[in-house]
Amino acid sequence: MKIEVINCLSDNYSYLILDEKTNTVSIVDPSEFDQCNKAIQKYDRLDYILNTHHHADHVGGNIELKQKYNSKIIGFDCDNNRIPGIDILLKDNQSQKIGSLIFKTIFIPGHTKGHIAFYFKNEKVIFTGDTLFSLGCGRVFEGTHEDMFNSLGKLKILPSETKVYCGHEYTKSNLNFCLMYDLKNKELKEKSLEINQKIKNKLPTIPTTIGEELRTNIFLRCDNNDIKRVLNLKDSPEQEVFSKLRDLKDAF
Protein backbone atom coordinates (compact mmCIF):
# COMPACT_ATOMS: atom_id res chain seq x y z
CA MET A 1 0.00 0.00 0.00
CA LYS A 2 1.34 3.38 -1.00
CA ILE A 3 -0.31 6.53 0.32
CA GLU A 4 0.16 9.94 -1.24
CA VAL A 5 -0.91 13.11 0.56
CA ILE A 6 -2.74 15.60 -1.68
CA ASN A 7 -3.07 19.21 -0.52
CA CYS A 8 -6.52 20.57 -1.28
CA LEU A 9 -8.37 23.84 -0.68
CA SER A 10 -6.81 25.84 2.17
CA ASP A 11 -6.10 23.10 4.71
CA ASN A 12 -7.73 19.86 3.52
CA TYR A 13 -5.95 16.60 2.85
CA SER A 14 -7.13 14.07 0.30
CA TYR A 15 -5.23 10.78 0.10
CA LEU A 16 -4.38 8.65 -2.89
CA ILE A 17 -4.05 4.94 -2.11
CA LEU A 18 -2.16 2.74 -4.55
CA ASP A 19 -2.48 -1.02 -4.19
CA GLU A 20 0.74 -2.04 -5.88
CA LYS A 21 -0.29 -5.69 -6.26
CA THR A 22 -3.25 -4.98 -8.49
CA ASN A 23 -2.52 -1.38 -9.53
CA THR A 24 -5.84 -0.36 -8.02
CA VAL A 25 -6.04 3.37 -7.34
CA SER A 26 -8.37 4.84 -4.74
CA ILE A 27 -8.78 8.24 -3.19
CA VAL A 28 -10.05 9.19 0.25
CA ASP A 29 -12.17 12.37 0.56
CA PRO A 30 -11.44 14.15 -2.72
CA SER A 31 -12.00 17.78 -1.74
CA GLU A 32 -11.65 19.15 -5.23
CA PHE A 33 -11.18 17.82 -8.76
CA ASP A 34 -8.04 19.64 -9.96
CA GLN A 35 -5.60 18.77 -7.19
CA CYS A 36 -6.78 15.16 -7.02
CA ASN A 37 -6.75 14.80 -10.80
CA LYS A 38 -3.12 15.93 -10.90
CA ALA A 39 -2.16 13.18 -8.48
CA ILE A 40 -4.21 10.57 -10.34
CA GLN A 41 -2.95 11.42 -13.82
CA LYS A 42 0.26 9.41 -13.59
CA TYR A 43 -1.82 6.27 -13.07
CA ASP A 44 -4.60 7.36 -15.39
CA ARG A 45 -7.16 5.42 -13.40
CA LEU A 46 -9.25 5.90 -10.31
CA ASP A 47 -11.09 2.78 -9.24
CA TYR A 48 -12.61 3.89 -5.95
CA ILE A 49 -13.53 7.04 -4.07
CA LEU A 50 -13.93 6.64 -0.30
CA ASN A 51 -15.86 9.30 1.63
CA THR A 52 -15.60 9.59 5.43
CA HIS A 53 -18.59 11.98 5.55
CA HIS A 54 -20.76 14.17 3.35
CA HIS A 55 -19.27 17.66 3.91
CA ALA A 56 -18.45 19.56 0.73
CA ASP A 57 -14.74 19.80 1.53
CA HIS A 58 -14.61 15.96 1.52
CA VAL A 59 -16.83 15.10 -1.44
CA GLY A 60 -16.26 18.15 -3.68
CA GLY A 61 -14.39 16.14 -6.32
CA ASN A 62 -16.71 13.12 -6.35
CA ILE A 63 -18.82 13.73 -9.44
CA GLU A 64 -16.16 15.11 -11.78
CA LEU A 65 -13.70 12.35 -10.86
CA LYS A 66 -16.36 9.67 -11.24
CA GLN A 67 -17.29 11.02 -14.66
CA LYS A 68 -13.71 11.11 -15.86
CA TYR A 69 -12.49 7.78 -14.46
CA ASN A 70 -15.71 5.78 -14.02
CA SER A 71 -14.87 5.27 -10.34
CA LYS A 72 -17.07 3.59 -7.76
CA ILE A 73 -17.93 5.79 -4.78
CA ILE A 74 -17.99 4.19 -1.34
CA GLY A 75 -19.69 5.66 1.75
CA PHE A 76 -21.92 5.04 4.73
CA ASP A 77 -25.35 3.65 3.86
CA CYS A 78 -27.27 6.11 6.09
CA ASP A 79 -25.71 8.99 4.16
CA ASN A 80 -26.70 7.74 0.72
CA ASN A 81 -28.79 10.88 0.17
CA ARG A 82 -25.94 13.22 1.04
CA ILE A 83 -22.89 11.67 -0.61
CA PRO A 84 -22.85 12.70 -4.26
CA GLY A 85 -22.69 9.77 -6.70
CA ILE A 86 -22.49 7.05 -4.06
CA ASP A 87 -22.43 3.47 -5.46
CA ILE A 88 -21.31 1.15 -2.67
CA LEU A 89 -23.16 1.53 0.63
CA LEU A 90 -21.40 0.22 3.71
CA LYS A 91 -22.67 -0.43 7.21
CA ASP A 92 -20.73 -0.12 10.46
CA ASN A 93 -18.01 -2.72 10.85
CA GLN A 94 -18.35 -3.91 7.26
CA SER A 95 -15.34 -5.15 5.30
CA GLN A 96 -14.66 -4.01 1.76
CA LYS A 97 -11.95 -4.80 -0.77
CA ILE A 98 -10.21 -2.25 -2.96
CA GLY A 99 -7.95 -4.34 -5.16
CA SER A 100 -6.09 -6.67 -2.81
CA LEU A 101 -6.45 -4.31 0.16
CA ILE A 102 -9.16 -4.89 2.73
CA PHE A 103 -10.56 -2.25 5.04
CA LYS A 104 -13.27 -2.18 7.65
CA THR A 105 -15.61 0.72 8.39
CA ILE A 106 -15.82 2.09 11.92
CA PHE A 107 -18.90 4.21 12.61
CA ILE A 108 -17.76 7.33 14.48
CA PRO A 109 -20.65 9.84 14.68
CA GLY A 110 -20.40 13.27 16.33
CA HIS A 111 -18.99 15.60 13.68
CA THR A 112 -21.83 14.36 11.47
CA LYS A 113 -24.48 11.69 12.02
CA GLY A 114 -22.98 9.48 9.32
CA HIS A 115 -19.24 9.81 9.83
CA ILE A 116 -17.11 6.69 9.31
CA ALA A 117 -13.41 5.82 9.41
CA PHE A 118 -11.64 3.41 7.05
CA TYR A 119 -9.43 1.01 8.96
CA PHE A 120 -6.82 -1.08 7.12
CA LYS A 121 -5.90 -3.53 9.83
CA ASN A 122 -3.22 -5.45 7.92
CA GLU A 123 -1.42 -2.27 6.88
CA LYS A 124 -2.03 -0.61 10.27
CA VAL A 125 -3.54 2.50 8.70
CA ILE A 126 -6.73 4.44 9.45
CA PHE A 127 -8.39 7.39 7.69
CA THR A 128 -10.27 9.38 10.32
CA GLY A 129 -11.76 12.29 8.33
CA ASP A 130 -12.91 15.08 10.65
CA THR A 131 -13.21 12.98 13.81
CA LEU A 132 -9.66 12.43 15.06
CA PHE A 133 -7.06 15.02 14.04
CA SER A 134 -3.43 15.25 14.99
CA LEU A 135 -3.69 16.71 18.54
CA GLY A 136 -7.38 17.45 18.16
CA CYS A 137 -10.84 16.24 17.30
CA GLY A 138 -13.60 17.49 15.01
CA ARG A 139 -16.25 19.99 15.92
CA VAL A 140 -19.52 18.44 17.00
CA PHE A 141 -22.02 19.54 14.35
CA GLU A 142 -24.75 16.92 14.21
CA GLY A 143 -24.20 14.61 17.13
CA THR A 144 -23.69 15.17 20.83
CA HIS A 145 -20.51 15.55 22.83
CA GLU A 146 -21.23 12.06 24.11
CA ASP A 147 -21.29 10.71 20.53
CA MET A 148 -17.89 12.27 19.79
CA PHE A 149 -16.46 11.02 23.08
CA ASN A 150 -17.62 7.47 22.33
CA SER A 151 -16.37 7.65 18.75
CA LEU A 152 -12.90 8.68 19.91
CA GLY A 153 -13.12 5.80 22.37
CA LYS A 154 -13.44 3.39 19.44
CA LEU A 155 -10.25 4.79 17.89
CA LYS A 156 -8.27 4.85 21.15
CA ILE A 157 -8.29 1.06 21.39
CA LEU A 158 -6.68 0.42 17.99
CA PRO A 159 -3.06 -0.83 18.01
CA SER A 160 -0.80 2.04 19.04
CA GLU A 161 1.36 1.79 15.91
CA THR A 162 -1.66 2.44 13.64
CA LYS A 163 -0.94 5.39 11.34
CA VAL A 164 -3.61 8.08 11.39
CA TYR A 165 -4.45 10.08 8.26
CA CYS A 166 -6.96 12.85 8.99
CA GLY A 167 -8.92 15.33 6.91
CA HIS A 168 -7.25 18.63 7.75
CA GLU A 169 -3.95 20.28 8.59
CA TYR A 170 -5.13 21.72 11.91
CA THR A 171 -2.12 20.51 13.88
CA LYS A 172 -0.56 23.88 14.75
CA SER A 173 -3.71 25.36 16.23
CA ASN A 174 -4.48 22.06 17.99
CA LEU A 175 -0.96 22.07 19.41
CA ASN A 176 -1.39 25.57 20.83
CA PHE A 177 -4.60 24.47 22.51
CA CYS A 178 -3.04 21.31 24.00
CA LEU A 179 -0.07 23.31 25.31
CA MET A 180 -2.43 25.62 27.22
CA TYR A 181 -4.03 22.89 29.33
CA ASP A 182 -1.57 19.98 29.27
CA LEU A 183 1.28 21.87 30.86
CA LYS A 184 3.28 19.01 32.32
CA ASN A 185 3.34 16.84 29.20
CA LYS A 186 6.98 16.41 28.18
CA GLU A 187 6.21 14.41 25.06
CA LEU A 188 3.87 17.15 23.86
CA LYS A 189 6.69 19.68 24.18
CA GLU A 190 9.02 17.40 22.21
CA LYS A 191 6.37 16.89 19.58
CA SER A 192 5.88 20.64 19.28
CA LEU A 193 9.47 21.04 18.05
CA GLU A 194 8.90 18.43 15.39
CA ILE A 195 5.59 20.00 14.31
CA ASN A 196 7.01 23.52 14.10
CA GLN A 197 9.89 22.22 11.98
CA LYS A 198 7.52 20.48 9.56
CA ILE A 199 5.26 23.51 9.26
CA LYS A 200 8.25 25.78 8.68
CA ASN A 201 9.31 23.50 5.82
CA LYS A 202 5.74 23.39 4.46
CA LEU A 203 5.52 19.65 5.07
CA PRO A 204 2.40 17.83 6.24
CA THR A 205 2.37 16.94 9.94
CA ILE A 206 0.42 13.82 8.92
CA PRO A 207 0.43 10.89 9.55
CA THR A 208 0.45 10.66 13.28
CA THR A 209 -0.14 7.40 15.16
CA ILE A 210 -2.72 6.24 17.69
CA GLY A 211 0.05 5.82 20.27
CA GLU A 212 1.36 9.36 19.81
CA GLU A 213 -2.16 10.74 20.04
CA LEU A 214 -2.85 8.82 23.25
CA ARG A 215 0.20 10.48 24.77
CA THR A 216 -0.23 14.03 23.38
CA ASN A 217 -3.79 14.71 22.15
CA ILE A 218 -5.64 16.34 25.03
CA PHE A 219 -9.02 15.05 23.81
CA LEU A 220 -7.77 11.49 24.36
CA ARG A 221 -6.35 12.35 27.79
CA CYS A 222 -9.48 13.36 29.67
CA ASP A 223 -8.63 10.94 32.48
CA ASN A 224 -5.34 12.71 33.21
CA ASN A 225 -5.29 14.19 36.70
CA ASP A 226 -3.06 17.16 35.84
CA ILE A 227 -5.40 18.19 33.04
CA LYS A 228 -8.45 17.70 35.26
CA ARG A 229 -6.90 19.91 37.91
CA VAL A 230 -6.11 22.71 35.43
CA LEU A 231 -9.77 22.66 34.36
CA ASN A 232 -11.06 22.61 37.94
CA LEU A 233 -12.69 19.24 37.23
CA LYS A 234 -10.65 17.12 39.61
CA ASP A 235 -13.47 14.73 40.51
CA SER A 236 -15.42 14.82 37.26
CA PRO A 237 -15.90 11.85 34.95
CA GLU A 238 -13.86 11.67 31.75
CA GLN A 239 -16.77 12.58 29.53
CA GLU A 240 -17.42 15.80 31.37
CA VAL A 241 -13.78 16.76 31.00
CA PHE A 242 -14.04 16.03 27.29
CA SER A 243 -17.14 18.20 26.97
CA LYS A 244 -15.44 21.10 28.73
CA LEU A 245 -12.41 20.82 26.46
CA ARG A 246 -14.57 20.70 23.33
CA ASP A 247 -16.38 23.88 24.44
CA LEU A 248 -13.10 25.62 25.20
CA LYS A 249 -11.69 24.61 21.82
CA ASP A 250 -14.79 25.90 20.01
CA ALA A 251 -14.10 29.32 21.51
CA PHE A 252 -10.30 29.11 21.11
| Contact between residue 162 and residue 126 where contact means Cβ atoms under 8 Å apart | yes
Q: Does 29 bind Fe ion (CB under 5 A)?
A: no
Q: Does 57 bind Fe ion (CB under 5 A)?
A: yes
Q: Could you tell me the strand order of the sheet in which 208-209 lies?
A: 95-98, 101-107, 116-120, 125-129, 163-166, 208-209
57 is catalytic: yes
Residues between 151 and 190 with contacts to Zn ion, criterion CB under 5 A: none
Rounded CA-CA distance 89/120 in Å is 18
54 is catalytic: no
Q: Does 130 bind Fe ion (CB under 5 A)?
A: yes
| Contact between residue 14 and residue 28 where contact means Cβ atoms under 8 Å apart | yes
55 is catalytic: yes
Considering only 47-55, 190-198, 200-208, 211-219, which stretch makes contact with Zn ion by CB under 5 A? 47-55
Q: Which residues pair with 19 in a beta bridge?
A: 24
Q: Does 55 bind Zn ion (CB under 5 A)?
A: yes
Which of 130, 169, 182, 213 forms a contact with Zn ion (CB under 5 A)? Answer: 130
Residue closer to Zn ion (CB basis): 117 or 188? 117
Upper half-sphere CA count for residue 127 (Cβ side, 13 Å): 29
145 is catalytic: no
Nearest-approach distance from CB 231 to Zn ion, in angstroms:
26
Residue 182's binding partner among Fe ion, Zn ion, none (Cβ under 5 to 8 angstroms by kind) is: none
- Pairing verdict, β 125-129 and 163-166: parallel
Considering only 29-37, 54-62, 158-166, 198-206, which stretch makes contact with Zn ion by CB under 5 A? 54-62
Rounded CA-CA distance 117/126 in Å is 7
Nearest-approach distance from CB 139 to Zn ion, in angstroms:
8
Footprint of Zn ion (CB under 5 A):
55, 130
